[in-house]
Amino acid sequence: MSDQSSVEILTEWDIVAARQLGRNVAKELGFGTVDQARITTAISELARNIYLYAGKGRIEIQQLTENGIKGILIIAADSGPGIPDIRKVMEDGFTTSGGLGAGLPGVKRLMDDFKIETILGEGTDIRATKWLR
């Protein structure tokens, strides 16, 4: 696989490119259709957030192996304004998802591991992992 393991997010089209990248890697790793869809949706959500709130950032996809188990790592990084109240954005409810159940809580549900780091004025770094079952 070529080393195009990350996508810059600037326009809405870049979201599609990030999805494509994620799906390719997921397929290569051996994830089934449903998990491919979940991983791609998670990437879509994260890329969309970058596009809407940070203006610019990148999605990086990495392949992992731990204790013989393969997995996919999504890194969503931006140098946007940062998130003022992490607790609030991780809460279920209308403000985060508009009743759609998506948003960051949704990403957390789609993946196995979820980690978020944010610094006000500097940016946000989100890492989500899914393991092959």
| Rounded Cα distance, 71 and 49, in Å | 23
Q: Which of 13, 32, 117, 119 binds other proteins (CB under 8 A)?
A: 32
| Rounded Cα distance, 67 and 76, in Å | 25
Phi/psi of residue 115, nearest 5 degrees: -140, 135
Residue 28 near other proteins by CB under 8 A: no
Nearest to other proteins of 81, 105 (CB atom)? 105
Report 45-104 residues binding other proteins (CB under 8 A). Answer: 92-93, 97, 99-102
Interior CA angle at 3 toward 71 and 49, to 5°? Answer: 65
Among 33-41, 46-54, 64-72, 73-81, the segment contacting other proteins (CB under 8 A)? 33-41
Q: Which of 109, 115, 117, 120 binds other proteins (CB under 8 A)?
A: 109
